[in-house]
Structure 1
């Protein structure tokens, strides 16, 4: 994959099929006025006269006419342009932002910022932040950069003289976009390329990855070079770092901090509050709205006005065990089959198994990523997650146990195990033992260091029976529920060292919704999960629960979920596609009927498990009809 272009897979950016809606319809979209301290950041790249109305080979180019129209629309609708200095002043308490504050940014340092955007910025009095890749400025005449639709030369990029002129105007501030991190590097044994700023480079000759120290030293050296060049040529060091591909982590943000770049940007989200006291870590990872496919004013208006909280999730839960094969060629064929199916179905999310469970007992025997504690069955999660993200266009949640790890050392495994009275119970480690907490936290950290993903799905092994760990676990069911939530938060934070802004989802047994007293049996409760996680994936699986009237059972479950204030907003109804009692697939027409009925009842988020991409069950056409997140979920021409 060509990594020299920004990807469009961050949460909160415009959908691939931008909806064209009338002004009347926009008024019905539940608009909420921007808060006085809220900042909107808009991300542009190339501004050209000859951009196709739609479908230009350069997806990130915006036509000059459309760009001028954007400025006119923003000015006419009360948006107040601010500079990076204004944002910093609001964060340190010097002066607040105006209502409907907007900051414009331009990535990559393209020549058109000077020739096309800058004249319009001056005409409208709009400040802007221009992020440059210093390695691309004044490069040798013979050098070429693969920029996607064509090879770019030095004439396509800004010169230092042009940057000096724009900076001198007082309207433009220059930020770093790295010196030479705007490309991909080898990220796994299969040769996938992922963003250089967040990837531990894999050396195929030695079979090893960069160490943490080597990786951080490489990033530090790059940023230091960029800062030094900008300060030397412009007389002013950059105060902001705009990460290529919006790929960063807390560790590289700390490096940026030490080099004076205390503000950093990504592409995840649309707005954020800027208030006094945020001049520390609060100005890292500021959200930006990425504009692409040459949006007109109606497209921009839709993106700024629609209520993102009303968007529904459609998720497929995928077993990586079925991608894995001892024959690498067969694994590659299985992966291609998976990617093609997901792309054709068009869900919004995939919950991707990151652990190996070949015996199907619910606990991890091995993992699909390099780690410190369990065998690595194959270095596979990185590759599959990235291809799902880039080739199939979905957000990936890493699906991983909380307690269910069968450690290879028998003595250690035994010393940390929960002694269950039920021999059929999933093997779990005792979360109240410090060694368990250390081991599992390091597993989550290793996962995040090795792969790029958007969220975590905590497996259904996170439970504590009322007769387990007597004397160690709290006797009060609510306290046990809280203890497991706190443990999952510690795991999220461990992963967050390398993957910022991770969303979280956690499996919930339906019995705890239908029979609240069963919190004593599971240490799970719906309202506590709503408060703790972005999503609660309730296992809406009537056949697994032995129901003889599945549709009536789902109705009762829906009634109970919808009684909760965040029931529609945060609950994912995860259906079963197989009756595990007899191994038979649930008929597709019945699944589709259930989904339509749940939607009519107000259910917003839907998922199912398993999605058998090997045997095409449920069948592709049925799966697309049931689980596509597209507004037009039919076969592509």
Structure 2
């Protein structure tokens, strides 16, 4: 299989991921910058090389020279581990150099420069590729690679003996894609339950055994050949989970790396260390930009997409719908898609079924994994799985009646009583199953997560703050369940605008902007003036921005989600007016904007308006 999957996975992570921090507890030390390289060659094209992961030896040397001149201090993996255990702290501005895949150029091109600058490094090798047997090739992107392209064990022994290079595992045979759904998409082997048309999905036990056997084989091979067992695992495509890290831990690999961000405070836990991936023959200017630009100022542009609109009982029509969606998202160029993971064909706001395999509700179609992967790999966006918090309708009518919020008004969204242990177990399991089945970078908690002041009065205190926090705590519980299989998920939660404009309405919703911003990465305020009955939508939006600033002065976390349809009249909001509203919000300092619905089938809002309003590109117009 071609390693194009590596480019799709790793490049999306590099450009989508913000600066992150470890969640592990322990004494903090100097944040560690980790740089990730692959191939170092002399003949790399300045731009547009067939191998996007190659960096010229000249540029690599310039990186090392600039880092030295700017006061960065090279550190080894041993120093990082010692600092994490409370030993000698890392020096100011520590940097660790890493190389993935075990390419021959680590020995022929990089190693002489590491010696010249005195930089230690970590090389992660796919053990099945070291000393690749004659006649076997690896389809490594631009061409098939042979044994001449990969390191030998003798070369690794020489570099290890120098004291400058430590060897990590990059797996034995997980650097490949495997079939992940009935439609045949291929996703990283380390995080995918393999789909077999004859037998269905790989069981959890079989999946975990496969990962354990691979890592054990890789670690045993490294120890046999080099005399030292690996202490670190660099996950292929930066695809891992807490569960796979636990397996690595048990095999002595207590350090792991991903590609989310560029530096990490070193604590007592060393899993999920951020790395900055250098690609496209990164120049010195490219490196400096990556290290100095402020990711926190990057604005979100989000399209909220109904998977119900993609679904069709006719497989051929479904594929046409999917192509329409991906093509529109590519042409609009947003940063995010909030993708519906539940089926709501009756439009009542609660889930009748789900679009992924799960243990609790019917599966309308096994579709979320395919659509999310296509959006990420073909359109280059971050995908947030959009799920209810309380609004799930069990198929069994008796269970539905027994578990529902009992004193809810008939016109409210159907919601389950989350104070009941069986409901919490069910919803946690649904979120966990989504994380197992889907490729996603975040979660959007649906607008069903509210409580009226007349609801659950027998089990929750009447104090609005307590009820607000109870719902927040439940969503964080759901996030933790999902993160076991998809670490470092971002979170967003819908918020009714009235709670921002009228703070006393917290009592009617159990929602509050400042509490949401403390709990989630983004709060998606439903900036929908027609839904709120406003006769002056633009002035209403102005008032919403002003009110939001009281809790979020720089508007760093508040996302304003516009409506593109007037549900009272079923008429679309004119695209020109939406563009004006976006410009109006931006002029007031709003950073994050989304809209719903985005009708990709009907081309509403029209593409030219969608591009102008929602594109994250610097020149968001149609190419001629």
TM-score (norm 2): 0.97
Secondary structure in 1 matching 2:444: strand
- Of 223, 227, 247, 1:231 maps to 223
Per the TM alignment, residue 532 of structure 1 is displaced from its structure 2 partner at its CA by: 0.6
Contact 1:12 1:308 in 2 (8 A): no
Q: Who is 2:6 aligned against?
A: 6
Moved over 2 A (4+): 1-16, 419-422, 634-637
Determine if contact 2:29/2:83 at 8 Å carries over to the other structure: no
Aligned partner of 1:107 among 83, 89, 100: 100
Q: Describe the superposition over 1:84-138 as per-residue Cα deviations: whole angstroms up to 9, x where unpaired.
A: 0011011001110111100010000000111110000000000000000000111
Quick one: distance in 1 between partners of 2:623 and 2:217?
A: 46
Q: CA deviation at 1:635?
A: 2.5
Q: For the residues of structure 1 that align with 2:281 and 2:578, how far apart are their CA atoms?
A: 39
Q: Of 168, 182, 188, which aligns to 1:175?
A: 168
Does the residue aligned with 1:6 lie in a helix, a strand or coil?
helix
**1:581 equivalenced with 2:573 (yes/no):** no
User: 8 Å contact 1:363–1:406 — kept in the other structure?
Assistant: yes
2:552 pairs with 1:561: no
Contact 1:547 1:553 in 2 (8 A): yes
User: How many angstroms apart in 2 are the aligned matches of 1:615 and 1:565?
Assistant: 36
Confirm whether residue 154 of structure 1 aligns to residue 117 of structure 2.
no
State the match for 1:433 in structure 2: 420
CA distance in 1, matches of 2:165, 2:157: 10
Whole-angstrom distance in 1 between the partners of 2:396 and 2:10:
40
Question: Tell me, what secondary structure is at the counterpart of 1:136?
Answer: coil
Cα deviation for residue 11 of structure 1 reads: 9.2
Aligned residue pairs total 613
Q: Distance in 1 between matches of 2:261 and 2:246?
A: 22
Answer whether contact 2:391 2:415 (CA < 8 A) is retained.
yes
The CA deviation string for residues 118-171 of structure 1, in whole angstroms up to 9 with x for no partner, is 000000000000000000111221111111111111111000000001101100
Find the aligned partners of 2:203 and 2:327 in 1 and give their Cα distance. 34
**2:60 counterpart SS class:** helix
Q: 1:474 aligns with which of 448, 461, 474?
A: 461
Alignment match, 2:297: 310
Hey, what's the Cα distance between the residues in 2 that align with 1:338 and 1:612? 9
User: What's the secondary structure of 1:272's corresponding residue?
Assistant: strand
Structure 1 residues not aligned, in runs of 5+? 17-34
CA offset digits 1:481-508 (Å, max 9, x no partner)? 0000000011001111111101110000
- Secondary structure at the aligned position of 1:573 is classed as strand
In the TM superposition, residue 421 of structure 1 has moved relative to its aligned partner by 4.5
Query: 1:492-511 residue pairs with structure 2 within 5 A?
Result: 492-511=479-498
Partner of 1:198: 191
Alignment CA distance shift 1:112-1:186 (3 Å): same
Q: Which runs of 5+ in 2 are unaligned?
A: 17-27
Tell me if 1:138 matches 2:131.
Answer: yes
Q: 2:312 aligns with which of 325, 331, 334?
A: 325
Does 1:165 pair with 2:158?
Answer: yes
SS at match of 1:629: coil
Q: In structure 2, what is the Cα distance between the partners aligned to 1:636 and 1:148?
A: 28
Asked if the contact 2:14–2:259 (Cα under 8 Å) also holds between the matched residues in 1, the reply is no
Root-mean-square deviation over aligned CA pairs? 1.4
Q: CA deviation at 1:563?
A: 1.8
CA displacement, residues 35-88 of structure 1 (integer Å, 9 cap, x when unaligned): 961100000000111111111111110011100000011111111100100110
Aligned equivalents of 1:321, 1:521: Cα separation in 2:
30
Q: Indicate if the aligned counterparts of 2:349 and 2:391 stay in contact, CA closer than 8 A.
A: yes
Change beyond 3 A, Cα 1:399–1:289: same
Q: Does 1:527 align with 2:514?
A: yes
1:401-440 deviations in Å (ceiling 9; x for gaps): 0000010111111111013452111000001011110000
1:612 aligns with 2:599: yes
